[in-house]
Structure 1
């Protein structure tokens, strides 16, 4: 009954037909722990779909909801989770809007409008870093020829073995079986490399789709032959595998392998992360390390540490694929973990001075904000501070200094 009522109120909110009493009821339902997932999706929809000048919640409503959430938990008995604030403009005036995570509940909290007149500054004197962008990558062909994809037009790019390689209008690189003129039995491989500050989508010759995150690389055959479909990955990628029961699809990364017949999953295998992670969204996969193999189910994540010891845990898969959907989602993460993710997307080097806060942060923000907007979230907690070094005119030497 409660879920049905919550769905009705959310629909009325988006249709702008919600009354003041229903608005208060909506806030109350969203504050309940059993509706945490719905609450997070609701606030994500607000961020994506509502106009920039929307007045979502009054300050008093947000404070009441925050108090209601906090009253249900004993803050002193939990690990410190610092609340953060993404920023956007309401009615043309810069105002803070918090997406908070407290015991699994997400909260949008507008800040009170300041009566202090803003100080006008020369924008060139305020350093900032722009976010990365989609469709930024380099394709390395079998003869080692490199194609810079973000500066290449659409249409056919090359014939590789028996596969035609083309770039679609939305930037995808698509491999399609050609006319069979190449009669060589040799397997032809291509490589797609995505640098810091980029993402790319690839369609393999079997119809499988791969989304590559920043600082990632995939090596793949232009046509699959034999009894398996094998690719090699470093970095992070999300896979939607075309079903083929006769030929399992295998992703090889570091010393581990994911084997599937047809499913959706995410692999995180960055060299500078302490562990590798395979997260399953749909179907089933077998994750194998040098020591063991496990089959995981949707909603589960296989985590492999430095010694290839595997741990299976239940997770919210949305967190694992937030990068693909245009968001950063942080759940109980320390600042060094967060800065590794930001550094890959904004293409900078983090530098730490002195003792750094070990508090853990939680929150959600669009990946397409400037870095200053993201850093303000952390600085607003009073536990961490940043200095942006924008680098030279070519973008080299970009650095962020982190202090307590």
Structure 2
């Protein structure tokens, strides 16, 4: 199959054989709506390969891409009204990512950590906040003993029930079943707690894999017994469930349940969010919303998801249909697991809740900051100043960092228009 012109230009970009004229053509093609998916993949590749020593795009190149996108938006507006946001609502996540790299091409350039650069000006801010730690968590054993995993060496951690608990060199926790201790196998539970600024992953006794986001918790049996495999979570978790047709896997969160046989899915169920979301990447899941108090039948509270769909569950819904199902870009739902923040038409308070869990600070709002919506994508492993620059570049919102004491207590970010 012959390569498309866009694929050819991307390949030349990778090989550093692209001419100035072809570079301009590449930027123009990436700005087109029909190439949104390719653009997203291209920019993610750039972020993953960024060395931190050289800018990917010069100011001139970024301006070319900016102009191309603006022209596309203006053309689209002539036939269909499009609401404008500080980072445009246009062609989904990929376009938002494009615009992010245009208005904020400096995110790809080396800078002193405390320097914030906007499109219009350069200004100095208080000391930066570092990103979270992918291996930060606390394991709570059946006897309530706590193991701080980020300061514990790899190796055997404990014998729980009839399972061996082991920490891998990469930080992952693995439960290995087997008759090891002679203790009863039933009703032996462990919990894994992820504080603000942490992430963690574990392998359950059945081989299922779980990744947990910041400010999340999972309670699970050290060995699955009976006819089902059941765990409880709070917060956000991504699951890859080991197939076992004889034992359905159930995830309980708040008053709701996801039931599967073997599949990949993400659950977002933070207590400070007014909705919960289940996103299916592979397989099939049944989602039941137990929080609805007005549903007429059990069928009103249950849906079956197909890959690429997301179920939104509304807390204490007063409608007969407490679950909304819609197709989604699954990459947005699991961006956190893949090391990115991805925002699509989000208000600043929703965005700051996500940032606060990862950078461990308290947001403080001054004045009305609810009017604008934003979109864009950036690595979770950049300092908070890099992320805040993305929003400050729009000229509609501003931030002040309060770093707190040496222990991190009192960390705040003040948000103003």
Q: TM > 0.5 between the two?
A: yes
1:53-72 to 2 correspondences below 5 Å = 53-72=53-72
- TM-score normalized by the length of structure 2: 0.86
- Partner residue, 2:121: none
1:308-387 equivalent positions in 2, closer than 5 A: 308=317, 309-387=322-400
**Aligned counterpart, 1:81:** 85
Tell whether the 8 Å contact from 1:236 to 1:270 is kept in structure 2 after alignment.
Answer: yes
Q: Is the counterpart of residue 103 in structure 1 residue 91 in structure 2? A: yes
Cα 1:24–1:189 shift into 2, 3 Å: same
Task: Work out the CA distance in 2 between the residues paired with 1:375 and 1:112.
Answer: 14
Aligned partner of residue 342 in structure 1, secondary structure: helix
SS in 2 for 1:301: strand
Aligned to 2:168: 168
- Whether the 8 Å CA contact 1:58–1:110 is kept in 2: the answer is no
> Displacement of 1:374 after TM fit?
1.2
Cα distance in 2, alignment partners of residues 4 and 248 from structure 1: 45
Q: CA deviation at 1:131?
A: 1.0
The 3 A distance-change label for structure 1 pair 183 and 158 is closer
- The residue that corresponds to 1:211 in the other structure is 211
Shift of 1:354: 1.5
Pairing 1:79-228 to 2, within 5 Å after superposition: 79-83=83-87, 102-104=90-92, 105=95, 106-107=97-98, 108-109=101-102, 126-182=126-182, 184=184, 186-228=186-228
User: Could you tell me which residue of structure 1 aligns to residue 39 of structure 2?
Assistant: 39
Separation (CA, whole Å) in 1 of partners of 2:395 and 2:21: 36
Deviation at 1:167, TM superposition (A): 0.3
Higher helix share: 2
Measured after TM superposition, the shift of residue 378 of structure 1 is: 1.2
Pick the structure with more strand per residue.
1
Deviations 1:357-401 (A, max 9, x none): 421011111111111221121112111111111111211111111
1:17 maps to: 17
Question: Which of 277, 286, 301 lines up with 2:310 in the alignment?
Answer: 301
Structure 2 unaligned regions, length at least 5: 117-123, 296-300
Please give the alpha-carbon distance, in whole angstroms, between the structure 2 residues aligned to 1:212 and 1:333: 22
Distance 1:347 1:227 in 2: 40
The alpha-carbon distance between structure 1 residues 184 and 277, as it changes in their structure 2 partners (threshold 3 A), is same
Corresponding position of 2:250: 250
How much has 1:111 moved relative to structure 2?
6.8
RMSD: 2.6
Q: Separation in 2 of the partners of 1:282 and 1:335?
A: 31
Q: CA deviation at 1:44?
A: 0.9
Measure the CA separation in 2 of the matches of 1:110 and 1:282. 35
What secondary structure sits across from 2:40 in the alignment? helix
Distance 2:329 2:40 in 1: 11
Counterpart of 1:388 in structure 2 is 401
Q: Which residue of 1 aligns with 2:120?
A: none
Deviation at 1:177, TM superposition (A): 0.8
Q: Deviations 1:153-197 (Å, cap 9, x if unpaired)?
A: 110000000000010000001000123542525321000000000
> Contact (CA 8 Å) 1:80, 1:359: kept in 2 or not?
no
**For the residues of structure 1 that align with 2:51 and 2:2, how far apart are their CA atoms?**
28
Unaligned 5+ runs, structure 1: 84-99
Question: Comparing 200-209 with 348-357, which one deviates more in the overlay?
Answer: 348-357
Deviation digits for residues 236-267 of structure 1, max 9, x if unmatched?
00111111111111110011111111111100
Match of 1:49? Answer: 49
Task: Tell me how far apart the structure 1 counterparts of residues 44 and 89 of structure 2 sit (CA, whole Å).
Answer: 13
Distance in 2 between residues matched to 1:126 and 1:8, nearest whole Å: 45
Report the secondary structure of 2:28's partner residue.
helix
1:66-119 alpha-carbon deviations (Å, 9 max, x no partner): 222222335693333223xxxxxxxxxxxxxxxx77433232337799xxxx99
3-state SS in 2 of match to 1:224 = coil
Aligned to 2:298: none
Deviation at 1:55, TM superposition (A): 4.7
CA distance, structure 1, for counterparts of residue 50 and residue 105 of structure 2: 20
CA distance in 1: counterparts of 2:104 and 2:375, whole angstroms: 18
Query: 2:162·2:185 contact (CA, 8 Å) conserved in 1?
Result: no
Question: Residue 328 of structure 1: SS of its match in structure 2?
Answer: strand
1:270 aligns to what? Answer: 270
